[in-house]
Each structure stands twice: as C-alpha cells, then as structure tokens.
Amino acid sequence: MSLGLGVLGCGSVFAGPYRGMIARLGDRAHVAAVYDVDDRKRRGAAEHYGVDPDSAGPEAVIGSDEVDVVLVLTSMNEHGPLARAALEAGKHVLVEKPMATSLEEAAELLGLSERSEGLLVCAPHIVLSPTFRAIHAAVRGGEIGRLLNGRARYGWAGPDWGEWFYRPGGGSLFDLGVYNVTALCALFGPARRVTAMVGVAIPEREVNGEVVQVEADDNAQVLLDFGDGRFASVTTGFTMQRYRSPAIELYGSEGTIQLLGDDWAPEGWDMWRNADGAWRFHPESDPHWQWTEGLRHLVDCVERGRPTITRPEHALHALEIMLAAQACGRDGVAREIASGFPDPVYADDWLAAEHDRYAHDRRSHDGL
C-alpha cells in the first residue's frame, strides 16, 4: 500500500531535497495533496504530481482522507501550529526544523504525539546517517573512553535569497546551529547548561538583488555544559565562507573522534585511540545519503508500526538550548537546561533495512 503524502510548503526545501526523496521512495508513497501560499509554487508542485492545484488551504490537505503523512515544510512560525493540527487529525507528521518557535508549543506537540495515533518526526534527521550511527556506536562502545570536550561547526556565506533568514524568527542559530546542537547532544547526552555569544556581524546583505537590514543573528558561538566539567562548543554563522576542518570533534579520555564533511553531509570519520597509536580513517560509506532521510524513516515506521528512532524530545531539547543561547546572547548570563531526551536506539530490524537500502542505492547510483 502506498502512503499518501500531504505537502505543506512547496518552496526550496521541498523542491529539491524532499522531492528527490519522494522519488526514491517509489511505490511506497505518493503525493496526494499540496499547499503553498504562493500560487506559482503550489501550481508547479500540483502539476508535477497530478494533484488538485486548488486545495483549500492547509486544513484541506490535513483533512484529506487521501493523506496519511503530512510534511510541514513552511516557514518557521507555522511549523508548530500546522504540526499540531495534523497530529490532532490523527496524521503522521514530519516537521522541518525547528519543530516550533516556543518551548510551550514544542511541549504541546510532544504531548500530542504521545497521545496521537500519528508518529512525529522532527528534522534534522542527521542521527540516521550511517556515519553518525558508526560514531554513536564507537562512543557508546567506549572506544575513546568518556567524552570530555568537543567542538562542532557549521556555517557558510549565507543565502542571497529568502529575506526571512535575516528577519526575526530566522537567523543562523535556528537555521544552521541546530544541526551541531542536535549532533553533540546525541553523543554527549542532554546538556545541562548553556551560554553563548550571538549577534549580527554583517548588518546589511543583498538578498534577491536588494539590500536588506539584518535583524536576526548571523553569527554565533554556543557553549554547552554536559555536567562533570564536560563541555562542547558550537560555531555557526552566515559568516563562514569556507572551511577545511572536521565538522565534529569529540575528545574522550582514551582518544578522539572526528566527523568530516558536515554533520548533515558526512564525508567519513576519523578515530584516534591511544591504545592504537594511529588514526583510523573510515571513508564515507554512504555518499548518497540525504539529509531528508527522515521521510523514508517515517514511512518505514508507519509501514512496520514501529516507533521512530529520532525522538521529538530530542528536537525539543535542541530548541530549549537554542532559545537559551539567544537569551544568553542578550544578557551574557548562562542558563540551565531543564529538558532531556532518550539516547537514540538503533533497532536491529531498522539496521537491516538500512543495509538493504544502501545496497540498492549504491547499485542504482553506480549502475551495478
């Protein structure tokens, strides 16, 4: 049986990455309804999938009997309300980052997801990548001892489209920093305390050919305290033209692990163990892995009636950290973090399915 997808928001996040993932899903899912406030985008998507171009708003998509899974890919402010409505309608939901813009809203979503029949999957989906799993397994297996210190970085020059990135509600911390925060916490466990410097380094930008005054942060440094004197830093911003450094560095009592590339687009990983006296570099095992894999995961879980590996609690925790970092950025005072989340558990049957997927992907990409 093919799952019906309802797409809310047909902009750039949908047009390339999620559309590609939907194509990869083949018979397992189909687009049943789409909505976008922008007429042109809505009609384009509707035409592409042969669905009604005149759906009567997001409510209609959510309410449609044809729709099993709702994809919330709109601008940030609508994430929370739309995900909520979809869960209330008993649908499965994939919501892009951030799951919501306030902690209250996120907590409500979390509660709903526990009571609802629908599964809730929140981006980013990076803990699903084979490289991330390998690192998680190495860390939990004690390969580098106890994690003591860490660094992560993700940034670029920033978009020259999408004014909203630079408006209140946008910003580099929510758009980029969320990946590093999510990744570090998945490895260290929940953070207990946060401090940060957050600001605007480039006050004027050209966006779609027009000069824009930047109102949201485009530059940030965040510190995380994992208790027992164990820390990590996140460096992010629309202020980083290029880098040639590991995305994530984990300093353990017996060794070091580095994730190369970016955490959402890994290029292998490196491990030093004192006991080895050597670096082990693992070339990227799955170069075709996509940061939209969360959708395939959701489809998997719906098909099998299984809980998801990525947990909404994790997304809520990342949100609490980012909101706290913004607050620290204003007054310079560190914040305690109240929320927690369970450690990712990679179920054996999922790993087996992943293995099959990878073999298939490789075959279709390499033509073997």
Token pair 């996120």 in the structure block, residue = 106
The residue among 2 and 274 lying less far from its own copies, judged by its C-beta, is 274
Residue 363 engages its own copies in binding (rule: CB under 8 A): yes
- Name the minimum Å distance from CB 55 to its own copies: 22
Pick out residues in 116-175 that bind its own copies (CB under 8 A): 144, 148-149, 151, 153, 155, 157
The residue among 140 and 360 lying less far from its own copies, judged by its C-beta, is 360
Cα distance between residue 170 and residue 341, in whole Å: 25
Residue 353 engages its own copies in binding (rule: CB under 8 A): no
Residue 235 engages its own copies in binding (rule: CB under 8 A): yes
Pick out residues in 20-49 that bind its own copies (CB under 8 A): 20
Cα distance between residue 359 and residue 86, in whole Å: 34
The residue among 110 and 184 lying less far from its own copies, judged by its C-beta, is 184
Residue 211 engages its own copies in binding (rule: CB under 8 A): no
Residue 60 engages its own copies in binding (rule: CB under 8 A): no
Residue 199 engages its own copies in binding (rule: CB under 8 A): yes
Q: Which is nearest to 297 in space by CA: 316, 284, 311, 318?
A: 311
Cα distance between residue 82 and residue 72, in whole Å: 7
- Helix (H) / strand (E) element for 28: namely none
Residue 64 engages its own copies in binding (rule: CB under 8 A): no
- Taking phi over 0 as left and psi of -120 to 50 as alpha, with beta for the rest, 128 belongs to alpha
Q: Which is nearest to 361 in space by CA: 284, 298, 302?
A: 284
| DSSP per residue, 264-332 | TEEEEEEEEETTTTEEEEE--S-TT--TTHHHHHHHHHHHHT---SS-HHHHHHHHHHHHHHHHHHHH-
The correct pick among 40, 50, 117, 333 for binding its own copies (CB under 8 A) is 333
The residue among 241 and 345 lying less far from its own copies, judged by its C-beta, is 241
Pick out residues in 267-286 that bind its own copies (CB under 8 A): 270, 272, 274, 276-283
